[in-house]
Structure 1
Amino acid sequence: MSEVTLYSTGACPYCAAAELLLKQRGITNINKIRVDQSRTDFETMLERTGRKTVPQIFFGDQHIGGFDDLVKLDQGGRLKAKDAP
C-alpha cells in the first residue's frame, strides 16, 4: 500500500480519530502534515483538495476526503492495510 498523507492540526479531534482508525486497521505508514504550523502546507492542502477543513486524507495521490469519508470506507470493509485504495 502507498503512503497515507493526513493533513491535520494539533487541536482537531477528527484528525486524531482518523489517525487512530488508520492505525487500528494496520495502516501505520502515515505522513502527518500539520497545516496549523505551516502556511505553505495549508496552501498545498487547499490546492490539492479545494477544502479548508481538516483532516484531509490521501492514499498515495488519491484523495479520500475527510474523517466521514474515511469512516464510510471502513464501514464498507475497504479500510485494511492490504485493501486500502
Structure 2
Amino acid sequence: MLDFLNPILGRHPEQIKANVEIYTWQTCPFCIRAKMLLWWKGVKYTEYKIDGDEEARNKMADRANGRRSVPQIFINNQHIGGCDDIYQLDTQGNLDSLLTQPAV
C-alpha cells in the first residue's frame, strides 16, 4: 500500500528471499514484537498459531531443540530462537544477510 516509502525507510522487501516461519500465540507480547520486526523488514512469513494446541507445540519443540516458549523462529529451516534472539541478530547486523539468502 505504501510501498513507495520502502526506500526512504531503508526497507527492501524485494531482497527478502528466505523462507521464514514463526510459531506464536495470539496474545503473546514477545510474538507480537517479533512479528513487528519481520513486518518492518518486509518479510512475508508463515505463522503457526499454536494457542492451546499441544500437538503443534510438541512439533515446534522438536524443531526448536526442545524449546517450548513462543515465539520460535526459523529462517530457511534453521532455528533462530525467540524474540530476543531475532532482535539480537538484527542489532548485530546479521539478520538481513539471513533474510536475503534464498530458501534451498
Deviation string, structure 1 residues 12-71 (Cα, Å, up to 9, x no partner): 0010000010111121x2111011143221110011111110000000210000011101
Alignment partners' CA distance in 2, 1:45 and 1:8? 10
Q: TM-score scaled by structure 2?
A: 0.72
Question: Please, which runs of 5 or more residues in structure 2 have no aligned partner?
Answer: 1-16, 100-104
Instruction: Return the index of the structure with the highest Cα Rg.
Output: 2
2:58 aligned partner: 43
Higher helix residue share: 2
- % of aligned pairs identical? 37
Over aligned residue pairs, what C-alpha RMSD do you find?
Answer: 1.3
1:66 aligns with 2:82: yes
Q: TM-score scaled by structure 1?
A: 0.87
Question: Please, which runs of 5 or more residues in structure 1 have no aligned partner?
Answer: none
How many residue pairs end up in the alignment? 82
